[in-house]
Structure 1
């Protein structure tokens, strides 16, 4: 079974019938793809284009068939950190200041992001004024995903309070052109911090806060590596998230850590 194709269809909200229509094939053919069959090249191209992913993400066996290896992933991995707190503050600042095209953040609460740099909102506004695309995606405080995560970490409603508290830092960005803030209600396996072709990936271990887990620093090398897989997951969550409306979300001064 092609789990990746199943997952992408679900993330994009695309039915097998819609994919079949886009690829000009019978729905039964898409069923066979979902069952593990690799499509013809022209159909692979259309399917990947329609779903906005790389062919090799949906069918990684193509890399092996072409005689390629995953050795390039070693080049992508700039460094690792034992936990998020061990990342030097200068690293966060230099990445934020050095971005030329985009700054994209995906978290549940991300309170540390502002608390480690009280001027982060001002800096993001300045980068946006310079033409940088700023996208911040936080968890929906009253959503199911945040509630489940809070229970898993054993902190109950504290995570929801942390989300509301964190959002207060970014309220000034709502009126800034080039800045977007959205809320997601998605199971989050990693927190992501993207600065152009640099990406900090903070995996989530079940039952532990993200701050206690390792962090990977990746640099984009090509479209077949880890970087693009994580970047695509950001885009998938961003596409389903809704714009933050403070009056509806509410605010809180609780739960900051």
Structure 2
């Protein structure tokens, strides 16, 4: 099996196999086997890799973790980004293209996914392949949306982005496996779920979403953080208004 954890961490760091191999001092074919065949590097080399990627060994090679020393919660936190803007285009593309079963989205706007990463045609293609989409966007007239726009210093701007997102998603709403709903709840976090990967974009008073931190969680047995945010999504989803 392929080591998708290592592949994702490399994409996030803008590192090719060749560059990684060069920095840690191994043959590129050896580094490629770490991904394609899920080979585990020798200990000294592993230390170089994790230092370069800013991860823990257990993040990249879960089989090495000692259950007595690593809690499920620690294992769930795959990566931390100081801001949403720090997530690379390669990382977003990898998460979207790698979808196999489900995508959940909880935002007010999220229009950058359409305009930068071609979300609408991707939804069409993935839905035809059996992927399920639950997409929750804001209601531009809701007090929570209007208040958030004023708090971030863009009165009217956020409402316009919400309207754009709703127009874009109208093209796919109602396709088999695609559900779009609007909501007017307070957006404590924007949530981006791609199968077992979940990005949690926390929001800060007076700051734009792109300036706020993001936690990349991976679903693991016995973990509670991933499920905590999934339940939050489900509560907003239950209160949402279907677009069709």
> What TM-score, normalized to structure 2?
0.68
Cα shift at 1:120? 1.4
Spell out the pairing of 1:81-100 with structure 2 (5 A cutoff): 81-100=81-100
Moved over 4 A (4+): none
Cα shift at 1:168? 2.2
Aligned to 2:156: 157
Gaps of at least 5 residues in structure 2 are 1-67
- Aligned-residue Cα RMSD (Å) equals 1.8
Aligned to 1:72: 72
Aligned to 1:183: 182
Q: Using the alignment, how far apart are the partners of 1:225 and 1:193 within structure 2?
A: 17
Cα shift at 1:230? 0.6
Aligned to 1:227: 226
CA deviation vs aligned residue, 1:57-96 (integer Å, no higher than 9, x gap): xxxxxxxxxxx99832111111111211211112112212
CA deviation vs aligned residue, 1:202-230 (integer Å, no higher than 9, x gap): 00011111111011110011354211101
Equivalent position SS for 1:141:
coil
Q: Using the alignment, how far apart are the partners of 1:88 and 1:233 within structure 2?
A: 26
Gaps of at least 5 residues in structure 1 are 1-67, 246-257
Q: Using the alignment, how far apart are the partners of 2:200 and 2:173 within structure 1?
A: 26
Matched, 1:207 2:206: yes
Aligned to 1:218: 217
Tell me the number of residue pairs that the alignment of Structure 1 and Structure 2 aligns.
177
Structure 2 contact 182–243 (Cα < 8 Å) conserved = yes
Aligned to 2:173: 174
Aligned to 1:11: none
Structure 2 contact 76–223 (Cα < 8 Å) conserved = no
Equivalent position SS for 1:116:
helix
Equivalent position SS for 1:156:
coil
CA separation of 1:223 and 1:148: change in aligned 2, threshold 3 A? farther
CA deviation vs aligned residue, 1:28-59 (integer Å, no higher than 9, x gap): xxxxxxxxxxxxxxxxxxxxxxxxxxxxxxxx
CA separation of 1:71 and 1:175: change in aligned 2, threshold 3 A? closer
Spell out the pairing of 1:31-70 with structure 2 (5 A cutoff): none
Equivalent position SS for 1:127:
helix
Aligned to 2:116: 116
